[in-house]
Amino acid sequence: MKIQFKISSRRQFIKSLCVFCASGFTPLWNINFKNKPENEFGKEPVSPDAEQFVPSFLNLHKEGELRKRGKILWDIMKSCRLCPRECGVNRIEGEEGFCHASSNLEIASFHPHFGEERSLVGKGGSGTIFFSNCGLRCVFCINWEISQGSEGSVNNISDLADMMLQLQKRGCHNINVVTPTHYSAHIVLALDIAAGKGLRLPVVYNTCGWERPEILEILDGIVDIYLPDFKYSDGKIAAKYSSEAETYPELTKAALLEMHRQVGKAQPAKDGLIRRGLMIRHLVMPNNIGGTKEVMKWIAENLPKDTYVNIMSQYRPMYKAFDFPEISKPISREEYRQAIIWAEQAGLTNLDIQGWYRE
């Protein structure tokens, strides 16, 4: 995939270079850039926060532990239990589980993404890698062609490492692995290769939230930012819209606690970017299908009140949602307003709320 470079950013860089030199500071060419995060175009100055950041996986890579963890995850695929489906198929032998993934690594796209949370996007974008297939398989999935329609192509683990390094070169602020669970082994092994070649960005584990805590424990010290959904508070609802995943609320709650134990609260650095912590997403659904009040109450009662929670308004009926009249329409302003009220009543203080709501 070819990634477009923005000319306006290059102009901006040259302009800032002139201002910088004219102001009497050390000329840029006298600064030693050795060991600084690589940015192919130099289009944005690297912030001191980015310079000082050391990703969690780096020490594990140096100790040889990252490769070991990747191997452990790989071996789990022999009787796959990487996600709560626990299919038990031998993916190494080419069998496919409920997620439709074998050991072949299928990737739909990778690119700087500017539609994620502001604290992940910054100026350079979030370096997203969209993996094909999914173990949850929701009827309203906005990315259903990728998650359930087998869109994507087969890549090897070195390709994945190269993608990570390319995203870093393009000036992205993180590596954002989207729907990563069924390819967690591939991701960790690729990180090990990329770390050896200079990858120094935080890893964002962008998941549906329905995770086995035992698998998350293997990722301890590898992931810097957990970005899970918390979609439903009711197991029967989860089963109805997400392929019989009745354990969704119970397992997601356990997963959120484990994620928080590993990375703590998400707090932006001085440059406004988050490089470590738990960032929860909740999509407000029509007719309160997600059980927003209970979701907010649980977060407030079981995690710090200032846990980052993005209350998302962008629900649109997609894919098979039209087979269910109750979710075959966008949410109303009133439904979104009510969700915010529930979150505030629960005592949550670090809400990411859609801009239009504030106007």
Q: Are 83 and 181 in contact (CB under 8 A)?
A: yes
Task: Pull the structure tokens for residue 312.
Answer: 């998302």
Total residues interacting with ligand SF4, rule: CB under 6 A: 15
Q: CA angle 161-165-170, nearest 5°?
A: 145
Task: Kindly compute the dihedral angle of the four CA atoms of residues 114, 118, 124, 129, in this order, to the nearest 10 degrees.
Answer: -50
| Contact residue for ligand SF4 among 44, 49, 65, 86 (CB under 6 A) | 86
Indicate whether 209 belongs to the interface with ligand SF4 (CB under 6 A).
no
What's the min distance (Å) between Cβ of 20 and ligand SF4? 49
Under the binding rule (CB under 6 A), the answer on residue 165 touching ligand SF4 is no
Binding-site string for ligand SF4 from residue 92 to residue 131, where x marks contact by CB under 6 A and - marks none = -----xxx-x------------------------------
Of 89 and 289, nearer to ligand SF4 (C-beta) is: 89
Q: In terms of CB distance, is 116 or 229 closer to ligand SF4?
A: 229
135: contact with ligand SF4 by CB under 6 A? yes
297, two tokens: 């109450």
Of these, 60, 66, 73, 89, which contacts ligand SF4 (CB under 6 A)? 89
Q: What's the CA gap between 75 and 338, in Å, rounded?
A: 46
Closest CA to 272 of 123, 73, 53: 123
What DSSP string describes 214-250? HHHHHTTTT-SEEEEB---S-HHHHHHHTTT-TTHHH
Residue 81 binds ligand SF4 (CB under 6 A): yes
Smallest distance, ligand SF4 to C-beta of residue 66, A: 21
Q: What is the SS3 assignment for 309?
A: strand
Amino acid at 91: R
Min. distance of Cβ 222 from ligand SF4 in angstroms? 18
Can you give the binding site for ligand SF4, defined by CB under 6 A? 80-83, 85-87, 89, 91, 97-99, 101, 135, 182
